[in-house]
Amino acid sequence: MSVYQGKVIELLAIEKENEKVFLRIKLSFETEVELFWEIDRDTAENLITISNLTGNHKYRLSLHTTLDPHKGQFISSITKTYRDKSERIGFVCSVGYKNNLDSIKNTQSMNDLIKLPFLSIEQSAIDGEKIEQKNEVVIPKAYTFPFKWVYATLIGAILVLLFGFFNNIYLHKNTMNDTTIAKAQVKTAEVQLDTIESVVAPVSELPELVKDDTVQLGLPYLEIEDSVAFSLPAGNVALTFDDGPSKYTEEIVDILKHYKVGGTFFFIGMNVKKHPDAVRYVQSNGYSIGSHSMNHPKMSELPYEKQVDELIQSTKAIEEITNERVILFRPPYGAFNKQTKEVLYDYQEKMILWNIDPKDWMTRDAEKIFNYINKSDGSGAIIILHESQAVIDALPRIIEYLQEENLNIVSIQ
């Protein structure tokens, strides 16, 4: 199983220096590093309003945004946690903030993340004017010490490397075992990621790049803007998989990886609790995950409160594993009503339906599944499949057919 590769952004503080505003964040991806993120003042003020960074809570920034079509505003969220309790709070953000999030989400290595123009490891904001919230300072002084330690470590590391070089130690491989090499790489990555290219290889801009021969990076994806989607723009097609996770999940992912195509998984909350490793495997390989309710009921037959419960429970089960916000939902049986739309609007999620259904759950026949899709127009299609051995058997032929039709097989976001 692949190593977990999800990105987690913890908000530590908010600072300003002159007319610039910075978020101090802890970014976890391959390793952990504290960074300054320059953002616009309006988004910063909105974050200040909903957070209290001097308290005992921790705050995790979502990597996703949604567009409120009624107000023409982008909405992101922050998850507030304390012990075993968590609360997700939405806030209005700027287009610039959204674009920055997309850059963080799509960058494929820590070495390239550190080079993004709005991120910095410099102490440019540490001694700046502090933004206050409820008459309290958002940034405690104690946060200045880790950066002093980083620079002290940097100086020490440079001296050690120079000493080792002049004593001809570095080239004697017999004196360095694998554990020593791994530790040295981690230390260097924490100290000066943008100068040590041998630690994390530079990432090409090509989407086909594969990291460590196991983690598929740069997969094609399409961000859905509509609150309810039955189809995609022409030239694109989405393979979606319902009712997982299951014993078939990882094999489906491996087939998608082999062909370097996108895929979207809609998980049932009860199955998430049974197969958490399968959820991690889907996420670590870069595929999209949505909710398919907690217990697979017909949403249209439930009152508003029960629909909320089905959505929130399943979303929470997934998010506790992935540490990323779930923004996609597929109603079981495609059954929804006005209240379902209201629930999704209230919780800022998008409903993903379909326009090609080979009814694989009924036939359980790989040949029939393929023939149905082969006779359909795949351009702009959202294809619904279910996790099963028959789908696994049919999937390579389905992908090859869609590729022969010159269609872009995307993950939905």
* Residues taking part in catalysis: 242, 386
Cβ neighbours of residue 16 closer than 8 Å, sequence gap 6 or more: 22, 44, 125, 128, 129, 130, 131
DSSP string, 344-356: HHHTT-EEE--SB
**What is the C-alpha R_g of the chain?**
23
- Provide the pairing of β-strand 236-244 with 408-412: parallel
Give the β-pairing of 58-61 and 8-17: antiparallel
The three-point CA angle 119-123-127 to 5° equals: 125
| Alpha-carbon torsion angle 168, 170, 176, 180, nearest 10 | 140
User: Of the candidates 126, 142, 121, 124, which has an alpha carbon nearest to the alpha carbon of residue 191?
Assistant: 121
The tokens for 249 are: 């999940």
User: What does the alpha-carbon distance between residue 407 and residue 189 come to, in Å, rounded to a whole number?
Assistant: 39
Tokens representing residue 256 in the block: 């998608």
Beta-carbon count within 10 A of 78 CB: 20
Structure tokens at 297: 């009921």
Pairing of strands 58-61, 228-229: unpaired
DSSP summary character for residue 209: -
Q: Which residues contact 391 (CB under 8 A, 6 or more apart)?
A: 241, 248, 252, 360, 366, 369, 385
